[in-house]
A = this chain, B = another copy of it.
């Protein structure tokens, strides 16, 4: 199949580029716009995508499940077949390395496989079944209807065109309208072509998948307010997520809008950890903050430490940052935002290479402050997306706790200690954070059933659901009980 980029939307199977408003992607690495030109969707094109998704709901839900499985299977295979081209485009539009692209593509395939495996189980959609006084009861999961997914800038494969949200929604039996992240519009078009090819190979209905290109707010607003849309998945900033949540408030019919937003992923280092784990902590934490420009939702953004005995750790961390190479960020707006947000910390000790980075690249930065300073400095409680973290020096455990109580919910938190954690700590963390890691870092989210990639607001909009692992499919399914259907 031909994966050359035409700059188009897909309204179901129909390529369409009627819009006169165009945009391009950008390479922060090479400091220039990429050559492809994309046509932002028009209102009438978006209406067609919505109508097709709505019309496809019944047909897709009723298509033999083997077709749905084969659809996912072929997507995995086609991604593999076109790996080289896809990874090149990934790198070109994100300035992330091809190595990272290969790893992320494999992860994306593993995610699709997770949902494929789940819907390949016998009676996968049967929750409970029993008989009462001669009457049968079966509680089964059904598709929820058309799902709109907004792609993330920082995972051009894994949380984008056929990433976790799209794959789980499709596996559940829902048509998907995918709103591409404009910063990797080309890769989105290529992957959309693959999804549509796999759909066509399995005679799936027109509208089972659509690709929407653009970067204007009205697109999200229209999608969120449309009554044909039955659920939404979003991965991005707090600001972006809250905008969508606010649009949804104006709907006549409430629907689930799952937004994965900002997270500080606090780290708590207890004093005993400095005795045997300093080297390990420095390696793992500095990598987690710096790798791939620290552009992960699970990047450790706050390191609360018991100050006593932390000198070696602090010095080694400083060394890691004062020698760290500059890294191109994903796109200019993340770059500009990083410069703006990180610069407000100049009043504190800052550790980074003191040189001018190439435009659109930045030097990883470590900041230090005391617990008291942290409490008095609101900017320290907001996510700085990119290679940035803050060491907060605390007198003792209770000061760490007090600091934590002033920040919201998070996707993850790490604790470094060889002692067992008190019940109070476990309660405090588990009531605010979706995953607690002992002696490890929060980056590198395993795609397994036991993963919970969620957390209290603002890290997500509903702490009961996950965006990673098998359980993510439950966001897009609704139960029905069939009573007295077995004779």
- Contact (Cβ within 8 A) B139 A480: no
- Contact (Cβ within 8 A) B254 A450: no
Docked Cα-Cα span, A145 to B449, in Å, equals: 25
- Contact for A474 among B140, B437, B464, CB less than 8 A: B464
- Contact (Cβ within 8 A) B446 A254: no
- Contact (Cβ within 8 A) A481 B61: no
Contact indicator per residue, chain A 180-223, by CB within 8 Å of chain B (1) or not (0): 00000000000000000000000000000000000000000000
Let me know if A289 is at the binding interface, CB within 8 A. no
Q: Which residues of B contact A436 (CB under 8 A)?
A: 480-483, 485
Q: How many residues of A contact B (CB 8 A)?
A: 66
Docked Cα-Cα span, A350 to B135, in Å, equals: 34
- Contact (Cβ within 8 A) B440 A135: yes
- Contact (Cβ within 8 A) A138 B450: yes
Let me know if A323 is at the binding interface, CB within 8 A. no
Let me know if A466 is at the binding interface, CB within 8 A. yes
Let me know if A265 is at the binding interface, CB within 8 A. no
Docked Cα-Cα span, A427 to B56, in Å, equals: 12
Let me know if A341 is at the binding interface, CB within 8 A. no
- Contact (Cβ within 8 A) B62 A450: no
Docked Cα-Cα span, A449 to B127, in Å, equals: 9
Docked Cα-Cα span, A254 to B460, in Å, equals: 10
- Contact (Cβ within 8 A) B450 A478: no
Let me know if A130 is at the binding interface, CB within 8 A. yes
Docked Cα-Cα span, A479 to B436, in Å, equals: 11
- Contact (Cβ within 8 A) B129 A437: no
Contact indicator per residue, chain A 42-70, by CB within 8 Å of chain B (1) or not (0): 00000000000000011001100000000
Minimum distance in angstroms from A439 CB to a CB of chain B: 6
Minimum distance in angstroms from A7 CB to a CB of chain B: 36
Which of A144, A249, A463 gathers most chain B CB within 10 Å? A463
B-contacting residues, A436-487, CB 8 Å: 436-440, 446, 448-452, 454, 456-458, 461-464, 466, 471, 474-475, 477-485
Let me know if A128 is at the binding interface, CB within 8 A. yes
Docked Cα-Cα span, A137 to B128, in Å, equals: 26
Q: Which residues of B contact A464 (CB under 8 A)?
A: 144, 256, 474-475, 477-479
B-contacting residues, A240-279, CB 8 Å: 245, 249, 253-254, 256
- Contact for A254 among B130, B245, B433, CB less than 8 A: B245
Across the two chains, which residue of chain B brings its CB closest to A438? B484
Q: Which residues of B contact A474 (CB under 8 A)?
A: 464
Let me know if A424 is at the binding interface, CB within 8 A. yes
- Contact for A424 among B58, B128, B462, B484, CB less than 8 A: B58
- Contact (Cβ within 8 A) B481 A452: yes
A437-B253 contact given A139-B452, A144-B464, A449-B139, CB 8 Å threshold: no
Minimum distance in angstroms from A39 CB to a CB of chain B: 33
A450-B144 contact given A254-B461, A437-B483, A440-B135, CB 8 Å threshold: no
- Contact for A127 among B245, B430, B438, B471, CB less than 8 A: B471
- Contact for A454 among B143, B479, B483, CB less than 8 A: B479
Minimum distance in angstroms from A472 CB to a CB of chain B: 12
Let me know if A353 is at the binding interface, CB within 8 A. no
Docked Cα-Cα span, A452 to B463, in Å, equals: 22
- Contact for A137 among B254, B434, B446, B458, CB less than 8 A: B446
Q: Which residues of B contact A480 (CB under 8 A)?
A: 429-430, 433-436, 452
Minimum distance in angstroms from A110 CB to a CB of chain B: 12
Let me know if A97 is at the binding interface, CB within 8 A. no
Chain A positions near chain B (C-beta within 8 angstroms): 57-58, 61-62, 127-130, 132, 135, 137-140, 142-145, 245, 249, 253-254, 256, 408, 423-424, 427-431, 433-440, 446, 448-452, 454, 456-458, 461-464, 466, 471, 474-475, 477-485
Extra contacts, 11 of them, besides A139-B471, A435-B483 (Cβ < 8 A), are A62-B424, A130-B449, A137-B448, A139-B450, A245-B254, A429-B480, A436-B480, A436-B482, A438-B485, A440-B484, A454-B478
CB pairs A–B below 8 angstroms (30 shown): A57-B431, A61-B431, A62-B427, A128-B449, A128-B450, A132-B446, A132-B448, A137-B448, A138-B450, A139-B451, A143-B431, A145-B431, A254-B457, A254-B461, A256-B464, A430-B480, A433-B480, A435-B480, A435-B482, A436-B485, A437-B484, A438-B482, A438-B484, A440-B483, A451-B481, A452-B480, A454-B479, A463-B478, A464-B474, A464-B478
Q: 8 tightest A-B contacts by CB?
A: A137-B450, A452-B481, A128-B450, A463-B478, A435-B481, A128-B449, A430-B480, A437-B483
